[in-house]
Amino acid sequence: MEERMDFRILNNGSFIPSIGYGTYKTGTEGETEQAVANALGVGYRLLDTAAYYGNEEAVAKGIRASGIKRTDIIITTKIWHTDAGYDNTMRAIESSLKKLNTNYIDIMLVHQPLGDYYGSWRAMEELYDQNVLRGLGLSNFYEDRLIDLLYHCNVNFDVFDFKLTNIDMDVMELLDQQDFLEDHHTAPGLERLLQLK
């Protein structure tokens, strides 16, 4: 009997697997490529990477080696704070698209609330409207920055990514009031467990 992956629905109506494979500190380029291919081979369909991890090209090679169609895989990547701001984010997304060997990214996150992340969000909203980015989200935001961006954005974010060790209960209550998919992780490189609130 075939096992079926559990999925959640994002604000934009798209589906995302409940469990994904994180690629932070997965090793060398070859090790990361093999790890991604293996993860896809055993059924993972959500991959998490980031510009900061320096492994987007290895993730793309792992996808290619797996033989799994790109349209069957959800790729999440992140804008690092050194690429904050509208123009820098546009360049960073173009770089990620090239490194990931794809013409769209399923979920793009602002990795940290540093620098001009409002400019980053505007760039991401523009590319979302062009269907280059299919879902938007935030990572490592504390309550004040989360609320501020929430009330000053045109496109609502779909995913809020955080470590279980540094989340504030006030943020959890805020997320309960919104329709965000929360991305919890407990340690670098481990599976990410997603829960719909």
Left if phi > 0, otherwise alpha if psi is -120 to 50, otherwise beta: which for 134? alpha
Q: Which of 21, 44, 52, 53 is catalytic?
A: 53
Joined tokens for residue 5: 């992956």
Q: Could you give the CA distance from residue 158 to residue 181 in angstroms, rounded to a whole number?
A: 6
List the one residue out of 106, 51, 103 whose CA is nearest residue 75: 106
Annotated active-site residue 53? The verdict is yes
Length of the chain: 197
In the chain, what is the greatest distance between 2 CA atoms, to the nearest angstrom?
Answer: 50
Three-point CA angle 34, 2, 76, nearest 5°: 45
Q: Could you give the CA distance from residue 18 to residue 45 in angstroms, rounded to a whole number?
A: 10
Catalytic residues: 53
